[in-house]
Structure 1
Amino acid sequence: MERRSFLRVGVVGAAAAVFGGASWHDAFAATAQPGPSPYGPLQAADANGVMLPSGFTSRVVARTGQRVAGTNYTWHPAPDGGACFADGTGWIYTSNSEVAITGGAGSIKFDANGNITSAYRTLSATNVNCAGGATPWNTWLSCEEVDRGYVYETDPWGVKAAVRRPAMGRFKHEACAADPDRKVIYMTEDVSDGAFYRFIPNTWGDLSAGRLEVMIGSNSQTSGPVTWQQVPDVDGSPATRSQVAGTKRFNGGEGCYYAAGVCWFTTKGDGRVWAYDAVNSTISLTYDDSLVSGGTPPLTGVDNVTRSSAGDLFVAEDGGNMEICIITPNAIVAPFLRINGQSSSEITGPAFSPNGKRLYFSSQRGTSGSSSGGITYEVTGPFRA
């Protein structure tokens, strides 16, 4: 993907998110520019081909088609969206498989020292499982990125059977983000005229029934108030995005992450990171790689997104030059890591361990450029608290 030459980071209109005692609104009060990373410049690539700031190290925790070390589980093809779950003093990393017919998801379990203790399948025989999201009740929502695709609620521990959740709508799902404050789940749709959705369960913690809504606003709108309206027919026939007049269009919805009053989501088709201020029901642009500000943007091909405990957004690239970039609350956009020699791949599934000291992610197609070449990594180092 060609890098475009412009960048803008805009105001995030949120009153509740905290960073160093300031709200996100205060922190993004000035237009941001590319600048030096708080972690310093990237160093030469390590033995895994990963360029990292000083003090950070990487390891490979899984490769597609190979058994995860010390286990009998063969890691799945095309690893995509992922999340971490606390497991006693350790944790679990759950990852989707973005392939047709046999997609699903799998998990790797770690002990308190980061040693792998087991790995296993948590969802099977589903279709093009792209991204998804974690719930506050410790399930993983795995999303099918196909027309009239489903959301599947899965157990990261692999004990309970996965459950299909048709009430959440049938469309080309990408990612989910749970908002426990308003008791809703936001969802993105990966088509060029996609919608941004929220699902309101009848009972929080039970996704079997509820109301699916789409965001209402002008297609040209990049800031200001928005509203929501119910989708009458959630089974996707006709398409959910086409049922409600005034539905705001988003060009290729990708990653989605909620924290402290704000839901950030990305649209790869126009290189944007959006912020939905759930407190005031407004939207704004956090990042746009095509608006003039001078210089070359450090982030293109915006895709999966997560957030650190310090309030930094970590945005993975699909294309670009295979980087995960950060957008800090003091308005700096900079590369955090880069993978060399994998230009036919994309970075997927960034997620922090519960203690915030380890970052997991995958190169979906690795050095081979095919779904059989996926590599899943762990980065350890002095992440900001």
Structure 2
Amino acid sequence: MSRSFFPEANRWKRRDVLRTLFFTAGAVGSASWLVGCGGSDSTAAAPTPGIGDMPDGEELPEIADELLGRFADIGPLQDADIHGVRSPQGFATRIVAINSELPQPEGMDASAPQTGGIGNRPWHIFPDGGGVVPRENGGWIYISNSEVPGAGTLGFTFPELAGLSTAIEEFTPGLAQVGTLVFDPDGTIVDSYTILSGTTFNCAGCVTPWNTWLSCEEFPNGQVWECDPYQPGEGLARPTLGFFSHEAIAIDPDERMLYLTEDMPDGRFYRWIPDPSDWPEGSDRAALQSGRLQVLAVRGEGVDAALDGPQAIEWLDVRNPHEPQHENRLPASTVFDGGEGVWFFKGVVYFATKGDDRIWAVDTLSQTIEVIYDRATAVAPNNILSGVDNLFVTSQGDILVAEDGGDMQVVVILPDGTLKPLLQVVGQDASEIAGIAFSPDGRRMYFTSDRGGRNGAGGFTNGLGMVYELILPNTL
């Protein structure tokens, strides 16, 4: 199916090792399954409420009290299955892609690698952030970034070299790409192709309300690229969204704003406000060509006080928006140590910071920020989450957090604040989990082990990346 979406104009953890050697999403609910990053819903029958639908004065704790959570009643994790995944009783897994192998119509099994397959490209290495868009026939497309480092990534690991690495990056095309898996309604894989290439260290991103994919480059001069997931091709750079180590994006479609994280030790949290002509009121999409980039500053009693309760925030226009932001820091802006996943849900923007293992909540109504999970102060049994990374929020209020390291789990933060493990990948301790996304009917959840692979003996271990499908029981 061919269609055009573009306007006419125009861890400190395991990944650091790789960066050095080489010198990186539909909400789920009972009635509304497929929601783009940030909580916009352009395809489902029952749209997720935006901030304009909320009663005046309703804040985060009151919202949480009304939501029960889709995964509130799941049981403990069972023993690992043949694919190396522990999940609650009633769940099952399938492997749908493995690095350097052609995807198979029925998925990959634990036997020897296949020689034939779907598409004209082996699956890319280091799959990271991902998303899903629907097809007109009832199927769907899973979109997957490839987090392959390049010259510019040297400046991520060694910020003092960012200027040199950025200059080299200008003359050395990146090795990252964005690939797709195309599914029929019954889950059969029918195609696979590339929608972006030549970029560097593509980490997470966002499915837009208009069903394009925003892919984020994670290095000091990185950009955001907009891609058409419905056909092979190349994306378009969107420089208005800034030049920095982009990690992820969330979109508030009602207020027409984008929120962006920066994965650096001295990173910031940003929002982008389109010019009126870029995303006119009533328009179904933004052109993403002109707007204001702003950075967050915590006021009140300061960012540390956000552990104890909401603190007032202010948005400041960035300095020199078309230059690398690590060279143009505003002293009044607030540092967030390693920004990771971000998601917009019912007037709240959730985001993770890996440097301090925290989940933050920005209330866009009251313009406040608070910490809703802090590893250092969490008390058992609600302290099982470490290595926070990608985020996904279901339409029932579950916050799914993928771990970079930690126990290689996806952990659910329920609306009442209780934590439960949803799954765990074993035998791949050098990897991380990312790329959480759901099929339009909500029955299948996709995630990556971005450094998993075959062990040569019919099982799986550390490797160059693979994509899993978690099949949910009918009771959920």
Q: Give me the TM-score of the superposition, normalised by structure 2.
A: 0.72
Q: Which residue of 2 aligns with 1:224?
A: 311
- What does 1:34-73 correspond to in 2, within 5 Å? 38-69=73-104, 70-72=117-119, 73=121
Give, in angstroms, the shift of residue 117 of structure 1. 1.2
Amino acid at match of 2:467: T
Amino acid at match of 2:304: S
Q: Which residue of 2 aligns with 1:190?
A: 263
2:130 paired residue among 82, 107, 118: 82
Give, in angstroms, the shift of residue 26 of structure 1. 2.1
1:299 paired residue among 385, 388, 394: 385
Q: Is the 8 A contact 2:295 2:317 kept in 1?
A: yes
Q: Which residue of 1 aligns with 2:433?
A: 347
Task: Note if 1:265 corresponds to 2:301.
Answer: no
Q: Is the 8 A contact 1:15 1:24 kept in 2?
A: no
Higher gyration radius (CA): 2
CA displacement 1:245-296 (0-9 Å, x = unmatched): 3101101000011122111110000000111111221111121111153457
Relative to its length, the structure with more strand (as a share) is 1
Give, in angstroms, the shift of residue 315 of structure 1. 0.5
Task: Note if 1:143 corresponds to 2:224.
Answer: no
Amino acid at match of 2:95: V
- What does 1:1-385 correspond to in 2, within 5 Å? 24-26=60-62, 28=64, 38-69=73-104, 70-72=117-119, 73-88=121-136, 89-100=138-149, 101-159=174-232, 161-202=234-275, 203-204=278-279, 205-217=286-298, 218-222=302-306, 223-237=310-324, 239=326, 242-294=328-380, 297-367=383-453, 373-382=464-473
Amino acid at match of 2:206: G
Q: Is the 8 A contact 1:299 1:334 kept in 2?
A: no
Q: Is the 8 A contact 2:431 2:462 kept in 1?
A: no
Amino acid at match of 2:374: D
1: CA distance between counterparts of 2:335 and 2:313?
12
Identity %: 41
Q: Is the 8 A contact 1:263 1:276 kept in 2?
A: yes
2: CA distance between counterparts of 1:93 and 1:80?
12
CA displacement 1:147-202 (0-9 Å, x = unmatched): 11111111111356410011110001100111102101100000111100011122
Aligned pairs, number: 364
- Residue ranges of structure 2 left out of the alignment (5+ in a row): 1-10, 12-49, 66-70, 105-116, 150-173, 280-285
Relative to its length, the structure with more helix (as a share) is 2
Q: Is the 8 A contact 1:167 1:209 kept in 2?
A: yes
Q: Is the 8 A contact 2:451 2:465 kept in 1?
A: yes
1: CA distance between counterparts of 2:274 and 2:461?
38
- Cα distance 1:362–1:17, how it changes in 2: closer, same or farther (>3 A)? farther
1: CA distance between counterparts of 2:313 and 2:88?
39
What SS does the aligned partner of 1:239 have?
Answer: helix
Give, in angstroms, the shift of residue 15 of structure 1. 7.6
Bigger drift between 280-289 and 219-228 goes to 219-228
1: CA distance between counterparts of 2:410 and 2:325?
37
1: CA distance between counterparts of 2:409 and 2:428?
11
1: CA distance between counterparts of 2:366 and 2:475?
29
Amino acid at match of 1:38: D
What SS does the aligned partner of 2:240 have?
Answer: helix
Give, in angstroms, the shift of residue 309 of structure 1. 3.0
